Structure 1
Amino acid sequence: MKYERIRNLREDKDLTQQQVADMLFVNRRTYAAYENGVNSMTPETLIKIAKLHNVSVDYLLELTDNPNPYPKNNQKL
């Protein structure tokens, strides 16, 4: 996983590390360690971050470059 994506998503929303940490119910140091790739995230935390930023977990894991979590209704699967 490229941790830059997590940082960029946070910065795009003009959120501080503390604000995101509070939303995830972790302390700021823990969240900063996630962004820096020092600590690995639990699957639950990864899902929370994806939901917070309205992106897919696949996008966070760099399995896709499409950040959209779900196809639009008018798109075929």
Structure 2
Amino acid sequence: MSRLKKLRKERGFSQIKMQMLTGIDQSDYSKIETGKRSMSFEQCRRVALALETSMDYLAGLTDDPRPYPRSPE
């Protein structure tokens, strides 16, 4: 199971919920989860925010799923 799918399931989100949270079409999101499609930088950022994780975790660069502290906007 991909990290993306695992986190989504842990959060209790459906792919439709992810579509609502990220603006990524459900069919495209499904392809991203199964590795049939890559995410753009912006899509990865939106997914990381929705799943409360870091882009590094989604990319497999760290095993720590906790998000980094956000800088004030």
The answer to whether the aligner puts 1:42 opposite 2:32 as a matched pair is no
Alignment of 1:1-77 (within 5 A): 4-70=2-68
Q: Which of 1 and 2 has higher RCO (CA within 8 Å, sep 6+)?
A: 1
Larger Rg: 1
**Normalised by the size of structure 1, how large is the TM-score?**
0.80
| Per-residue deviation, residues 17-75 of structure 1 (Å, max 9, x unmatched) | 1110121112211110110111111000001111111111111111111112226xxxx
The answer for unaligned runs of 5 or more in structure 1 is 72-77
Shift of 1:15: 0.9
State percent identity of aligned pairs: 32
Stretches of 4+ moved more than 6 A in 1? Answer: none
Matched residue SS, 2:44? helix
**Normalised by the size of structure 2, how large is the TM-score?**
0.84
What RMSD over aligned residues (CA atoms) do the two structures have, in Å?
1.5
